Structure 1
């Protein structure tokens, strides 16, 4: 390694300068005298070289390269993003479940409110009609008048579906209350032939016609005969009022009876759809 220069002095003499200017062709000119002093510093020691080398070393030595630091930051952000997505997914699912539960409750409440609004209290809604199954017993005429006072009438059965609904409901009542006596199972319906024997009409004066005329009349168990039979051995006036006496899995539930008998009743009215 070359030594460092400490100082340098150079002195040029001005002797014969004027003469040379006057006579440029002169051969007797004297050479200029140059004095020079050069001083070199000592070569640096090994320790000095190491110190200098350490002072000029890369300031990032011993540290993680910048791209590694960026990768760590990116990985951390990704982890946070995944955690946030999982949290939001669970939270949204929880909200959806709560909303579904509230919606079901609202639907149930709304359905109950609609029934309450559509039918009077203690009446049941079926296919746009309201039905009342009484717990007390009256004769046919009193039952008719009672249904009228409640804003309806003794039930008028107009279809197979309506017959099945009423029979099933009456049957369920007998099972819930463990009723075994026939007179306690029976419910008056709005059908009579009081005016003309054998001509059955509903309380709205609509005649009993079509298949219904024979379809729902019961078959008697003791003799296999079909109702109505106008049995008059107990009362000479005969049996002029119809009652429904439910049977399991059977639509043949109508019997003619004495109108003075004490039975429960089924009242009917139109539902009020809000």
Structure 2
């Protein structure tokens, strides 16, 4: 009878060890999922980089319509703040297309403005050589030119192009 009690006691200790181990593993999984949520996430088809999410439109439209499409998704046309951001974005693009940026010169007087009111800085710009070059082209796009690679170009706002939308990551 004593031996049966000892065996039963060993069984209970093992069972409790398994229960505690499972609780520790579940807790670890919960903590990891919370940390991931604190870091932020992007909607399914959006690409994450830094504190933002990016959507590359497959549809071509005018600049104003492209901005409205971005707004409809809770975003705006992309604002490029760093070379690292520019490098990330161009890796997502197809070289055969041109993509609207959230940069425009509404008066055609060289006063370029970002759509989110970020100050336009001369040191954070990636214009192709000799661009912008025509005051009637009041919107900016990023385009690949064989001899020059990726860079910005001033374009007519009423031309149809693909676009890049940007939103801040969602933090839960």
Question: Normalized against structure 2, the TM-score is what?
Answer: 0.71
Q: What's the counterpart of residue 169 of structure 1?
A: 92
Which structure carries more strand by proportion? 2
Alignment coverage as a number of residue pairs: 137
**SS class of match (1:267):** strand
Q: What's the counterpart of residue 56 of structure 2?
A: 133
The equivalent position to 1:254 in structure 2, one of 130, 141, 152, is: 152
1:37-68 deviation line (CA, Å, top 9, x unaligned): xxxxxxxxxxxxxxxxxxxxxxxxxxxxxxxx
Checking the alignment, whether the CA contact within 8 Å between 1:200 and 1:207 is kept in structure 2 is no
Q: What's the counterpart of residue 66 of structure 2?
A: 143
Q: What's the counterpart of residue 217 of structure 1?
A: 127
In 1: Cα distance, 2:150 partner to 2:91 partner: 12
Gaps of 5+ in 1: 1-105, 180-184, 220-225, 232-237
Counterpart mapping for 1:224-243 below 5 A: 226-230=130-134, 238-243=136-141
Q: What's the counterpart of residue 197 of structure 1?
A: 109
Structure of greater Rg = 1
1:251 deviates by 6.9
Superposition misfits of 4+ residues, deviation over 2 angstroms: 246-252
Query: Structure with the greater relative contact order (CA < 8 A, sep ≥ 6): 1 or 2?
Result: 2
1:134-165 deviation line (CA, Å, top 9, x unaligned): 10100000001110111000000000100111
In 2: Cα distance, 1:252 partner to 1:211 partner: 17
